[in-house]
Structure 1
Amino acid sequence: MDEEKATLHQYLRIRRADLLAKLDGLDEYAVRRPMTPTGTNLMGLVKHVAYVQLGYFGEVFGRPSGRGYPWEGEGAEQDADMWATAEETREEIVELHRFSAAHADATIEALPLDAVGEVPWWPEERRRPTLHTLLVHMTVETARHAGHADIVRELVDGAAGMSAANSNLPERSAQEWAGYRERIEAAARQAGRPGAPAGDG
């Protein structure tokens, strides 16, 4: 594998691991619980990324995984990839994500960066991207949803940062975090006062 492809692939693998780690230590309700008005939840993020990855590194390059999609078939529910039903287990969703990653890795390893795929759901003028483009696209997609998962996990139980091993956050006590948040709140309220000039300190 050439150096550029290896670097992109490594970043994708790191972001996958970041996302999966957000399920650790939570019960079944917590991993499924919708935490935003649009229903964002941890299991749904993992499930969604798994299916998107299967599409971009599977069908797009003529390498179908053999797995069906939850939105296929008569009566399928819209956005069925964005949440887990009560019948779907955490183990099934995590296994799907790992299967998706392995299938994607096989495509990435087998093809050169300039290999061209076809994305039928993209506009005609950009429908035939290279593996290089899709590696960047999928890394950004995974990182975006890992960021969503960071915030959702903090809302669920207060756990913050990239991972237990590397929070990537300043070291502060609970009291110091509360004070820090209060300073941000005070600045926001001051800036939001009716008639407050921009940059008013």
Structure 2
Amino acid sequence: MIDDFAKDYLHGDLREIREAVLRKLDGLSDYDVRRPLTSTGTNLLGLVKHLSVTEARYFGEVFDRPFPEPVPRWDDLDRRGTDMWATEHETRQEITDRYRRAWEHSDATIAALAVDSPGHVPWWPRPNVMLFNVLVHVLTETGRHAGHADILREQLDGEVEGNGSDPAFRERRRAEVERAARAACPGEPVSPPVPGASTGPAPG
């Protein structure tokens, strides 16, 4: 039996990780939050924009509680992927504010419905779901993109949680991991440094 404890637990984790995603933008220039940092164009502000659509869609139309702002249709192939980056006409403030409004709408849906309330996800192979399924899915999706945001932020300025923010600690750890990798793979060619990684002297 799925009870309200499970609902409250998942909802609490979702609230925390939303805030973690937005913190990854703190202190960065508008260009740095927008610019592509992988070969496929992944960027910090695009992750926020994407998660806004995710929340609006899953806690909106899935439960017949549509988000009161336009959301791209899930079956509009021409717009697929456009939620992963910010155009020059969209401001950082607009995108982050929309994410917070999506939270508010999601939170209202979560509060109003029982954890086993039925929903319908037409783009899933098994479209008939419960609020529980959607909570787990959106928490997983947000956690996945929060991990992406962690790596992107570290590439930009080395900002990570805990001791990783100390440059000396980061360099020691990188060298330690590099030494272990080479020791485990003797005779293999050494690859060039990963873009954005620390590039101190190679361990002997």
Q: How does 1:68-107 map to 2 (within 5 A)?
A: 68-70=70-72, 76-107=78-109
Tell me the alpha carbon deviations over residues 71-107 of structure 1, each in whole angstroms, 9 at most, x when there is no partner.
7899954411000011100011011101110110010
Report the CA distance between 1:70 and its aligned residue: 4.7
Report the CA distance between 1:122 and its aligned residue: 0.4
* 1:111 matched residue in structure 2: 113
Q: Distance in 2 between matches of 1:113 and 1:171?
A: 38
* 1:17 matched residue in structure 2: 19
TM-score if structure 1 supplies the norm length?
Answer: 0.85
Q: Secondary structure in 1 aligned to 2:101?
A: helix
**C-alpha contact (below 8 Å) 1:50/1:100 kept by paired residues:** yes
Task: Tell me, yes or no, if structure 1 residue 3 matches structure 2 residue 5.
Answer: yes
What's the C-alpha RMSD, in Å, of the aligned pairs? 2.2
Q: Secondary structure in 2 aligned to 1:189?
A: helix
Q: How does 1:110-129 map to 2 (within 5 A)?
A: 110-123=112-125, 126-129=126-129
Q: Secondary structure in 2 aligned to 1:25?
A: coil
Report the CA distance between 1:173 and its aligned residue: 4.2
* 2:180 matched residue in structure 1: 187
Report the CA distance between 1:158 and its aligned residue: 1.3
Report the CA distance between 1:186 and its aligned residue: 1.6
Q: Distance in 1 between matches of 2:166 and 2:48?
A: 31
TM-score if structure 2 supplies the norm length?
Answer: 0.84
**C-alpha contact (below 8 Å) 2:118/2:128 kept by paired residues:** yes
The letter of the residue matching 1:179 is: R
Unaligned segments of structure 1, at least 5 residues: 162-168, 196-201
Query: Identity of counterpart residues, as a percentage?
Result: 47
Q: Distance in 1 between matches of 2:104 and 2:82?
A: 22
Unaligned segments of structure 2, at least 5 residues: 189-204
